[in-house]
Amino acid sequence: MILKRMLDFPNYGWRSAFDDLERMRRDMDRLFGQVVGRAYWPTHAGVFPLVNISEDKENFFISAELPGLESREIQISATGKNLTISGERRIASEGENVKYHRREREGGQFNRVIALPNDIEVDKIQASYSNGILSITVPKAEAAKPKQISIK
């Protein structure tokens, strides 16, 4: 380990093509942090709602976690190959003088666009919502379904 650090073994004299890019990224982060302050940086990065997407020969199946919402608070729209799930999640306030030790659940509007690999039948989409799980069945367009070719 010491030999590797001292001599950069086995790459002595060789530099990665990305070493300079990584150094520049660190410098830019440091400079930008000094200019606008650390308060600018987001405290978390994530996508809401979390989804699972699967498929069979006929349909795509989308399962989205939306705990704490009512079905009337969720909007679903579809065009071409895209399905959009949107709404607003409200988190009850614990009070003004509350000090958080950890805050991972955020409230606010969300808009999740899911790009599917094939065209879909927009008029035949079915959705159900139970126990915080949104289940959507999206039929594939006829042109996107696999065709059985007979051998003559």
Do 25 and 63 lie in one domain? The reply is no
Please report whether residue 150 resides in a domain: no
Cis (ω within 30 of 0) for the bond into 49? yes
pTM above 0.75, yes or no: no
Do 55 and 115 lie in one domain? The reply is yes
Number of domains in the chain: 2
Distances (CA, A) of 115 to 14, 39, 79, 81, 98: 42, 33, 10, 6, 40
pLDDT digits (tens, 9 = 90+) for 86-119: 998 888 777 788 887 877 777 788 899 999 998 8
Q: Can you give the residue range of the structural domain that contains 22? A: 2-40
Contact 75, 54 (CB under 8 A): no
Q: Quickly state the pLDDT bin for 13 (edges 50, 70, 90).
A: low
Do 112 and 134 lie in one domain? The reply is yes
Q: Across residues 42-46, what is the average pLDDT?
A: 43
Closest CA to 82 of 42, 118, 31, 134: 118
Please report whether residue 152 resides in a domain: no
Do 31 and 59 lie in one domain? The reply is no
Q: Coil, helix or strand for 123?
A: helix
